[in-house]
Chain A
Amino acid sequence: MSMSTSIYEHPTGSGDPAGAPLDVTAIRRDFPIFETGVAYLDSANTSQRPNQVVQKMEEYYRQYNANVERAAYKLSEQATAEFEAVREKVRVFINARSKNEIVYTSGTTAGLNLVAYSWGRTNLKAGDLIVCTVMEHHSNLVPWQLLAQEKQARLEFVDIDEQGRLRRDQFDALLRQEPRLVAFTHVSNTLGTVNPVKELTAEAHAAGALVVVDGAQGAPHLGFDVQAADVDFYAFSSHKMCGPTGVGVLYGKRALLDAMPPFLAGGEMISAVRLEGTTFREPPHKFEAGTQAIAEVIGLGAAIDYLQGLGYPAMRAHEDALTDYAYESLSELDGVRIFGPPPGPDKAGVLSFDVAGIHPHDVSTILDRTGVCVRSGHNCTQPLMHRLDVAGTVRASFFLYTERAEIDRLLAGLKEAQRIFA
């Protein structure tokens, strides 16, 4: 599948689009967990981590474990250097103008909440409009609900069409009401829909709104260029992109971050503290209160190296081929109904489906007994479940290390479930 011209792709620094295909057998040797024999089809939930990432964190713990920025000795200097080098790595990864636009967080959820609390509380007033969508993960929806409640702002949701794409007519109609903020996901974790971030952002900006994008699924599978798409905020999590848990990134445009008040207060983020009052450091440090997840940040750097070493075009091609195969095979099973767009440039490696007469949890339990891991339930997208009128779905998701044989095991397990429930 060709993808280089698509409006849905804007990875940065990710190499030759015509590069060599992934050597998945070799890749899987980097992931010792596969020696257990599981078929892991839940990477949209959390990815597996390669040796390179675990070893890098171990190196920190064994060789230069110290707090960053607080102490005047070599060990701490080395830890600080590694910690800050990752910031530059992330800057390049998403093509930010400055590394001061890269705020370390504990994950996507924390990043989105930071925007809601810090920017939202300062800037929104009663009657203002926030636009969100029905396909959002709870972490890009509930913070806006709380903010809207607190500020007596209005919150409106863009619906999806029958194939699980955003209704552009509704999006446009809501923009005409001049929202202050528009929040949507880069890639839906349930439908696999890839939203045209750049187009949506340009339209929202033309209407005078700021744009917050949930990059939890986009950063790992497509990569992202914040300047090309011109978004105002972009949040993502390390643990979905081969990095450790407990760390993530919030990108924010410098001028916005400068004007925003701190969210959490404490050590590291202050410039001078007097009993009468405190001045704060410049972004990003203003938003990084307390001891950070140092080993995890350093691990995230190794994860970015790993992904960029493989190259996003090759990863995307690999995931596309798996998605094609799984989509076609699932479509041939009686009683299986797939949600979301068919394979194509606006579809990522996430397939949600249900099986007639069998609850998603029962499907998942039966699959689990054969060593196949899938997500089942609402996938943290309950409003979307209501919209689709289902209690939940079964979700299989693919990543750079997924092989066809794992999808075959999924298919065999589904047939087994149908046999049991026949």
Chain B
Amino acid sequence: MADQMYREYILDHYKNPRNFGRLEDADISHEENNPLCGDVVGMDIKTRDGVIDDVRFHGRGCAISQASASLLTERLKGMSLEDAREIGKQDVLEELGIEISPARLKCALLALKVLKVGAYGLSQEDE
């Protein structure tokens, strides 16, 4: 039941977030919050020749928002900015691999929004 949403690896990413912290000399740095629940996710990205060289995220919030950010940073490392632009909501949800209730979609997609707005000036509503 509840365990389907809080699978072991989600909890692992929540408790031991990957790429957590800040990058001093980031090329892209952006933060968003989810006004409804107060979740915050920020991302610092360092690029070289159009490729994401390093990425860190920071923030606080629920397991879903923080695990989603952690998973996204793992995926982004080494990816070209061009390819990263193509990452869509569905990709993020598939990566999470769990059933997300409608009330929690915003949490799951917050990190993606940070990337889209920060790196490309897009809002998800534009998609």
The chain A residues found within 8 Å of chain B, CB to CB, are: 358-362, 365-366, 368-370, 376-378, 385, 391-392, 416-417, 420-421
Q: Is B5 an interface residue (CB 8 A)?
A: yes
- Which listed residue (B2, B11, B63, B101) contacts A359, Cβ 8 A? B63
Q: Determine the chain B residues whose CB is within 8 A of the CB of A391 once the complex forms.
A: 37-39, 60-61
Q: Determine the chain A residues whose CB is within 8 A of the CB of B104 once the complex forms.
A: 361, 365
Q: Determine the chain B residues whose CB is within 8 A of the CB of A420 once the complex forms.
A: 2-3, 6, 11
Distance (whole angstroms) from the CB of A352 to the closest CB of chain B: 14
How many residues on the B side are at the interface (Cβ–Cβ under 8 A)? 19
- Which listed residue (B6, B11, B36, B38) contacts A385, Cβ 8 A? B38
Q: Determine the chain B residues whose CB is within 8 A of the CB of A378 once the complex forms.
A: 37-38
Asked if A362 and B38 sit within 8 Å, CB to CB, the answer is no
Q: Determine the chain B residues whose CB is within 8 A of the CB of A366 once the complex forms.
A: 2, 5-6
Distance (whole angstroms) from the CB of B24 to the closest CB of chain A: 26
Q: Is B117 an interface residue (CB 8 A)?
A: no
Bound: A365/B38 CA distance, A: 16
Bound: A377/B34 CA distance, A: 11
Q: Determine the chain A residues whose CB is within 8 A of the CB of B63 once the complex forms.
A: 358-359, 362, 421
Bound: A245/B36 CA distance, A: 22
Q: Which 7 A-B pairs have the closest CB atoms?
A: A359-B62, A369-B2, A366-B2, A361-B62, A391-B38, A369-B1, A362-B62
- Listed by A's residue number, 26 A-B pairs whose Cβ atoms lie within 8 Å are A358-B63, A360-B37, A361-B39, A361-B62, A362-B62, A365-B2, A365-B5, A365-B101, A365-B104, A368-B101, A369-B1, A369-B2, A376-B37, A377-B36, A377-B37, A378-B37, A385-B38, A391-B37, A391-B38, A391-B60, A420-B2, A420-B6, A420-B11, A421-B6, A421-B11, A421-B63
Distance (whole angstroms) from the CB of A422 to the closest CB of chain B: 9
